[in-house]
Chains A and B, each alone.
Chain A
Amino acid sequence: MAAAAGVKVSSVVKDAAFAALLSFGLFLPLIGFDTVTNIRNELVLETRFKLLAIVIALVTAGSLVNSLAIAPWRARRALRGRKPASNLAGAVTRWFAPFAFGFVLIYPALVLGLGGIQGATKWIDNFGIQILIYVMLGFGLNIVVGLAGLLDLGYVAFYAVGAYSYALLAKTFGLSFFALLPLAGILAAFWGILLGFPVLRLRGDYLAIVTLAFGEIVRLILINWVPLTNGYAGISGVPRPTFFGIPFNASDEGFAAVFGLPFLPLYRTLFLYYLILVLVVLTAFVTTRLRRLPMGRAWEALREDEIACRSLGINTTTTKLTAFATGALFGGFAGSFFAARQGFISPESFTFMESATILAIVVLGGMGSQIGVAIAAVIMVGGTEILRDLDFLKSIFGQGFDPTQYRMLLFGSAMVLIMVWKPRGLVATREPSAFLKERKAIGRDLVKEGHG
């Protein structure tokens, strides 16, 4: 057989046997035995050897398929060498961003047409707005981690500063959302610089640990400074954003009455959706512009080689601080939007898990790539939301199957698979910021990940 040529039978059998043995050892305690409570409320041990046998058979078959079909195919492909990017792939990358933007623009109309007013509100709010907040956070962190190469594990601190700035200032002074949005961003940027100073000399793991601690410090302050932040109970009744002064409520001065429409909660949701969309576009625009300016180029140069930067007269101190401040600025914007949308904030929303999610979005997307970060945010946030509705799995695994228990397992496996398939992120090329004749994408294997 041509396909099997070059495949040693003995090694195939050895691999399969090893896989079977390994899965037996692993799954015997996990699947082979089950504890069940019987009628007299006693715990009894039951065996499920049939299921165990099926699982082991599946693993062994998988090993055989891998060594007989997949491995030779990969070897042949490696022999042929890497294909140059085809015209189709080039067209996809060129037209993807405008197409995606158009889709996001008409998305509310689309779901309104498909799901009616009741269904659409959920889809716009839970998916649209939620995802766009994370896209914005991803863009902000992308500046620090992806461009400047500074690993920041405490990014959620700036999100929290933005949220609490808006909530406290709006409640205390009654200032409007649009007046407080820049202020919250500036306050967050100030905290970014405050974090930047002590960590200027730190690199790599040490920087990551200090930024992690910074995120925790901010959260603990929010919990313990009860007179200001109301501690764990959080701040409720945060003023909602208005349509340039016209509130979204059922009163006579409300949005619906002024425009002669029937009152619907949908209007506020739509307004919030387009508001965060504008903020995301602003972030993307500023970041794209900055990449082509000396400041952005200095960030990327800093990621590549800090000592070379200094030998060229670049002040690495201000370069790092501007990266932290710019990233924090967008985090602050997102935070104040979050507070205005929720109407309630508490330290619960700003745990380390949030930082980890945002960082995962940036890494999964391909560090430095904005389109990659946006796709990753859709996968990460939209994916976890979609996995809440897993009832269709009952039709496959039977009625006894509880899909919600498997949500994080499925999600984790999906993440592992994506990182195996695309180890440098979904968009694994870097766009040069300037070119002479031809804009050539740069492979990620040449681009450094940064170390400081």
Chain B
Amino acid sequence: MSTPLLRVEHLTMRFGGLVAINDLTFTADTNAITALIGPNGAGKTTVFNCITGFYKPTQGRLALLHGDANAWHDLDLITARGARRHKRQAGVLFLLERMPDFLVAQQARVARTFQNIRLFPGLTVLENLLVAQHNTLNVASGYAALGVLGLGRYARAERAAIEKACGWLEATGLIDRADDPAGELPYGAQRRLEIARAMCTDPVLLCLDEPAAGLNPREKMELNELILALRDQHATSVLLIEHDMSVVMEISDHVIVLDYGTKIADGAPEAVRSDPKVIAAYLGVAEQEVERVQAEVAR
């Protein structure tokens, strides 16, 4: 029995007259890989931007849990109370739609990558990973006040941070490029570095926005292994936007399909693959032709 980690309820996002997401409800489970798929313009990245606090949703509730599932019982209570964070012995609940973007990353521990890679190109690979550990290091340096004087435990904290960064560089095969500027890496390596950087924030939920875009088949296989390792070895849940079905169907535990901002399917990969509505959305056929297309696909 899996526990939900993230609950998206009745999420609606309007930009002026355009409804980008329309009453979307789904859950992402702890220690699972949840894929969000759909044709271009379906609103997948908008969902990500709402979850990570970059957009304030027009309506809806986005709740995230740290710890025991019993804490979910308090959800309606804290929603009514207007709190954005609720701590009990069982666990901590966060209402993400009430938090600014940097607190979603810092406190709720939701990390993300971007569809168009957003590294710090002029910083080295190692520095990119150290910036990701900003908050722990900043506390260790006494918010720079002690660090400037060379006091406190900053030196030790920085060594630990470099060690952790090295661990992720090993995992992503970038250790030999640690001292090179991030902007000089090849495209596939930049994608992996962005994942390593997000993982350096110790997330409970990692949101990957099209991680396989622009990768060759071999790199895609390595990416699959990496994402599975995040789930199995690092106890990180993954929310994934991806167009590449070889990635989605291979590794996902749960697939949600969006079309024009509305959820049209939700379930295990095999079930979604054969859903006539999904096929219609992707292939753009009329309702009455769905069965014929489905038969063709099955063959």
- A interface residues with partner B (beta carbon < 8 Å): 286, 289-290, 293-298, 300-301, 303-305, 307-316, 322, 430, 432-440, 442-443, 446-448
Distance of B275 from chain A, by nearest CB (Å): 33
Interface contact B122-A447, CB-CB below 8 Å: yes
Interface contact B119-A294, CB-CB below 8 Å: no
A294 neighbours in B (Cβ, 8 Å): 130-131, 133-134, 137-138, 141, 144, 147
The 8 closest A-B pairs by CB, nearest first: A447-B122, A313-B106, A313-B105, A304-B120, A295-B144, A308-B118, A446-B183, A294-B138
Q: Mark B124-164, 1 if CB is under 8 A from A, else 0.
A: 10110011111101100101100110100010001000100
Judge if B266 is at the interface, Cβ distance under 8 Å: no
Distance of B100 from chain A, by nearest CB (Å): 8
Distance of A427 from chain B, by nearest CB (Å): 14
Interface contact A442-B144, CB-CB below 8 Å: no
Judge if B114 is at the interface, Cβ distance under 8 Å: yes
Interface contact A290-B144, CB-CB below 8 Å: yes
Nearest B-chain residue to A317, judged by Cβ: B102
Judge if B224 is at the interface, Cβ distance under 8 Å: no
Interface contact A293-B102, CB-CB below 8 Å: no
Complexed CA–CA distance, A314 and B103 (Å)? 8
Interface contact A311-B141, CB-CB below 8 Å: no
- Knowing A314-B134, A435-B179, A436-B166, the reply to whether A446 touches B144 (Cβ < 8 A) is no
14 A-B pairs besides A308-B120, A442-B124 with CB distance below 8 A are A286-B148, A300-B123, A301-B123, A304-B119, A304-B120, A308-B114, A310-B102, A310-B105, A311-B105, A312-B111, A312-B131, A312-B201, A442-B181, A446-B183
Judge if B23 is at the interface, Cβ distance under 8 Å: no
Complexed CA–CA distance, A293 and B154 (Å)? 9
A437 neighbours in B (Cβ, 8 Å): 178-179
- Knowing A297-B134, A312-B197, the reply to whether A304 touches B123 (Cβ < 8 A) is yes
Distance of B168 from chain A, by nearest CB (Å): 13
Q: Which of A301, A315, A436, A438 contacts B102 (CB 8 A)?
A: A315
Judge if B270 is at the interface, Cβ distance under 8 Å: no
B181 neighbours in A (Cβ, 8 Å): 442-443, 446
Interface contact B147-A289, CB-CB below 8 Å: yes
A434 neighbours in B (Cβ, 8 Å): 124, 126-127, 130, 158, 162
Interface contact B124-A446, CB-CB below 8 Å: no
A313 neighbours in B (Cβ, 8 Å): 102-103, 105-106, 134-135, 201
Complexed CA–CA distance, A300 and B105 (Å)? 19
Distance of A254 from chain B, by nearest CB (Å): 36
Complexed CA–CA distance, A308 and B132 (Å)? 9
Judge if B291 is at the interface, Cβ distance under 8 Å: no
Distance of A267 from chain B, by nearest CB (Å): 33
Query: What number of residue pairs across chains A and B have CB atoms under 8 A from each other?
Result: 141
Interface contact B138-A432, CB-CB below 8 Å: no
- Knowing A436-B178, A439-B179, A448-B121, the reply to whether A295 touches B162 (Cβ < 8 A) is no
- Knowing A304-B121, A311-B101, A311-B105, the reply to whether A293 touches B134 (Cβ < 8 A) is no
A435 neighbours in B (Cβ, 8 Å): 124, 126, 178-179
Nearest B-chain residue to A288, judged by Cβ: B148
Q: Mark B77-107, 1 if CB is under 8 A from A, else 0.
A: 0000000000000000000000001110110
Judge if B184 is at the interface, Cβ distance under 8 Å: yes
Distance of B235 from chain A, by nearest CB (Å): 19
A307 neighbours in B (Cβ, 8 Å): 54, 114, 118
- Knowing A312-B197, A430-B122, the reply to whether A297 touches B105 (Cβ < 8 A) is no
Interface contact A301-B138, CB-CB below 8 Å: no
A312 neighbours in B (Cβ, 8 Å): 105, 111, 131-132, 134, 197-198, 201
Q: Which of B101, B114, B127, B143 contacts A297 (CB 8 A)?
A: B127
Interface contact B144-A314, CB-CB below 8 Å: no
A438 neighbours in B (Cβ, 8 Å): 179
Distance of B262 from chain A, by nearest CB (Å): 27
Complexed CA–CA distance, A313 and B134 (Å)? 8
Interface contact B122-A448, CB-CB below 8 Å: yes
Nearest B-chain residue to A443, judged by Cβ: B181
Q: Which of B120, B137, B162 contacts A305 (CB 8 A)?
A: B120
Judge if B52 is at the interface, Cβ distance under 8 Å: yes
Nearest A-chain residue to B120, judged by Cβ: A304
Complexed CA–CA distance, A434 and B137 (Å)? 14
Nearest A-chain residue to B150, judged by Cβ: A289
Complexed CA–CA distance, A447 and B119 (Å)? 12
Interface contact A310-B119, CB-CB below 8 Å: no
Complexed CA–CA distance, A430 and B179 (Å)? 12
Complexed CA–CA distance, A303 and B138 (Å)? 18
Interface contact A432-B105, CB-CB below 8 Å: no
Complexed CA–CA distance, A436 and B159 (Å)? 11
Complexed CA–CA distance, A437 and B162 (Å)? 12
A298 neighbours in B (Cβ, 8 Å): 131, 134, 138
Distance of B18 from chain A, by nearest CB (Å): 22
Judge if B254 is at the interface, Cβ distance under 8 Å: no
Nearest A-chain residue to B133, judged by Cβ: A294
Nearest B-chain residue to A305, judged by Cβ: B118
Of the candidates A301, A437, A443, A447, the one having the most CB atoms from chain B within 10 angstroms of its own CB is: A301
Interface contact B179-A308, CB-CB below 8 Å: no
Q: Mark B30-59, 1 if CB is under 8 A from A, else 0.
A: 000000000000000000000010100000
Interface contact A293-B147, CB-CB below 8 Å: yes
Judge if B253 is at the interface, Cβ distance under 8 Å: no
Interface contact B179-A432, CB-CB below 8 Å: yes
Interface contact B166-A295, CB-CB below 8 Å: no
